[in-house]
Amino acid sequence: MWWNYVSITIMCYLISSIVTGHEYGH
């Protein structure tokens, strides 16, 4: 189902943003 694929894509994007923020936050 497309909504499941979109949800996974958004989750991956959010996780990447958080990880990147912690990496360059310091």
* Residue-number span of the structural domain to which 17 is assigned: 1-26
pTM over 0.85: no
Tens-place pLDDT, residues 1-26:
788 999 999 999 999 999 888 766 55
User: How many domains does the chain contain in total?
Assistant: 1
Dig out the tokens for 15 from the structure: 């996780």
- The separation between CA 24 and the C-alpha centre of its own chain, rounded to angstroms, equals 16
CA count, 13 A, side-chain hemisphere, 23: 6
Amino acid 8: pLDDT: 97
